[in-house]
Structure 1
Amino acid sequence: MIKYLLGNLLVCGDCGVPYRRRTERGKVVWRCATRSEKGKDACHNSPTADEGWI
């Protein structure tokens, strides 16, 4: 079962890992899983996308 449809469609152009949906500071965003888990140094060219924009 897929929890979020975009979870399998959004892929980081820098490292090739799927994006994950997160809530940060009360705002829903999609961010590269590598960047979320290992930090900006591990994947520094991936943008964070606001869910409203997507």
Structure 2
Amino acid sequence: MIKLFKASKVTSLQKKYDKLMKEAYDLSKSNPEMSQQKQLEAQEIQRQIISQPL
């Protein structure tokens, strides 16, 4: 049951990561600086995902 909660946390982080990457892509055409900021935020989320124990 504990793994179920950890998997849901990873799933929610993955959704945040996907959302940030989509926003970064959309902004890349109009505002490259904001796009870069969104990519940095997404990288931080990715680090959190990787650091989660299995």
- Normalising by structure 2, we get a TM-score of 0.30
* Structure with more strand by fraction: 1
Higher gyration radius (CA): 2
TM-score, with length taken from structure 1: 0.30
